[in-house]
Chains A and B, each alone.
Chain A
Amino acid sequence: MANEQPTTGGGQPQLSYEQARDELVAIVNKLETGGTTLEESLALWERGEELARLCEQYLDNARARLDAAATNPTDD
């Protein structure tokens, strides 16, 4: 899924879709289990939002590519 790379803010190395999704799942688990400080839970939630946006972008890109291929089939 990695041609046009959606970007997270800041110049970190770009996460793959699977990496972002897995981290999101981990964050949700951590928040639901509890035991985090107020500061930590806020930070986690913000990161989660960011990752969810990233995943959304990946999926939208993939859909766009599929739809483009469907409307302009390359004939052989």
Chain B
Amino acid sequence: MALQTSPDQPAPVRVVSQAIGGWISRLGAIWVEGQVAQLTRRPNTQTAFLTLRDPAAEISLQVTVPRLVLDQVDPPLVEGARIVVHAKPSWYYTRGALSLAADEIRQVGLGELLARLERLRRLLAAEGLFGADRKRRLPFLPRVVGLICGRSSAAEHDVLENARRRWPAVEFRICEVAVQGPSAVTQVIEALRELDRAEDVDVIILARGGGSVEDLLPFSDEALVRAVAAATTPVVSAIGHESDTPLVDLVADVRASTPTDAAKQVVPDVAEELVGVTRARGRITAAIRYRLDREQSMLSSLRSRPVLADPANGLLARAEEVSALRDRARRHLRHSLDRAAVDIEHTRARVRALSPAATLERGYAVVQRADGAVVRRPSDVAAGDHVRLRLADGELGATIDE
């Protein structure tokens, strides 16, 4: 419906504006595909604004979208994302501005990319690149720590600061590279190869801060992931936030949740270790001293045993034994002598009893002939024979008268 106007009958602005509005609203709701060139989202506002650009031409349109709808897009929308939008053309009377009022946004290219990533993940998993047996242990005290990160990034700062706090003398070799965009993959791979070749670099940290899925895409690139898998030096990946899972995380030897965490895993807390060493030393010394003391006291107790400490005692026992035996011998001898003496006494008494002395004492005399024979009857002698008279006390000689 054309407006009838002429130089003499011009239409006022508001009428024109209204008319334009009417024509525009006839278009109705449509689906539009384009690339996000600019995204504005202010806090505490209900509406967000974005510029939808035709990737094939330098033509763009403004799009408004309710905050709620925008927030529902997953992964969150960023500049450069390709989207499909369901929108109604809108005419803003007061400013005379046209924009598309969107009520639904779908990501196109990204969905495809994510599906591609998933296929790649399955392929690499099937090859065994994510296997636990391929993970290398990190060195306890690396000679040099290799660090691949963005230029003057927070990630670089976090790693350096936390590592140096734990071990002030830690040595770094830093490769600052692009960590997003088209040149990121080549630069990271080159840095990785250089650090891996270096003989004194004992561990490599790959660090970058958080970002959109697109920003982190280089770290799911097949060439980069394979390069990390092929590295002989252990690699720690600290890419994005805790919830991000670029494929490099799966193939790295250790996955750190943040650059700070990477620093902690790669470098020991030297002060703590020293305390541990001192304590261990103390325990070793104490254990040895305890053993020595035990041996010493055992030795002392052995030495104080009588057989060693007082061997004279043993000799004393023997001496006493000898003495006792000698006494017994002597006693035996004495007894024998006493018995013999007693025997002799008895015998002597018997002899005495048998002897004629008692008879002689009574006054008898024993008469003996010259040949010693005892004279018992007169016929034993003749007159004139000499005889001896034994008296109790002495002898007499006599001659027989008749």
Query: In the complex the two chains form, is A24's CB within 8 Å of B314's CB?
Result: no
Determine which of A31, A38, A42, A55 lies in contact with B299 in the assembled complex, contact meaning CB atoms within 8 Å. A55
Secondary structure dominating the interface of A: helix
State whether A24 and B302 are in contact (beta carbons under 8 Å apart), knowing that A59-B292, A66-B288, A66-B289 are contacts in the complex. yes
Taking the complex as formed, is B295 at the interface, i.e. its CB lies under 8 A from any CB of chain A?
yes
* B280-291 contact mask (Cβ, 8 Å, vs A): 1 or 0: 000001001100
Number of interface residues of B (CB under 8 A): 16
Q: Contacts of B307 on A, CB cut-off 8 Å?
A: 28, 31-32, 45, 48
| A63-B314 in contact (CB<8A) | no
A52 to B285, Cβ gap below 8 A? no
Q: Is B303 an interface residue (CB 8 A)?
A: yes
Contacts of A32 in B (CB 8 A): 305, 307
**Interface status of B311 (Cβ within 8 A of chain A):** yes
Interface residues on A, range: 20 to 34
Taking CB atoms, residues of chain B closer than 8 Å to A63 are 292
The distance in angstroms between the C-alpha atoms of A76 and B37, with both chains bound, is 60
Neighbour of B285 across the interface among A38, A42, A66, CB < 8 A: A66
Q: List 23 A–B pairs whose Cβ atoms lie within 8 Å, in order of A's numbering.
A: A21-B299, A24-B299, A28-B302, A28-B305, A28-B307, A31-B314, A32-B305, A41-B314, A42-B311, A45-B307, A45-B311, A48-B307, A48-B308, A52-B299, A52-B303, A52-B308, A59-B292, A59-B296, A62-B288, A62-B292, A66-B285, A66-B292, A70-B285
Residues in A lying within 8 Å of B, measured CB to CB: 17, 21, 24-25, 28, 31-32, 38, 41-42, 45, 48-49, 52, 55-56, 59, 62-63, 66, 70
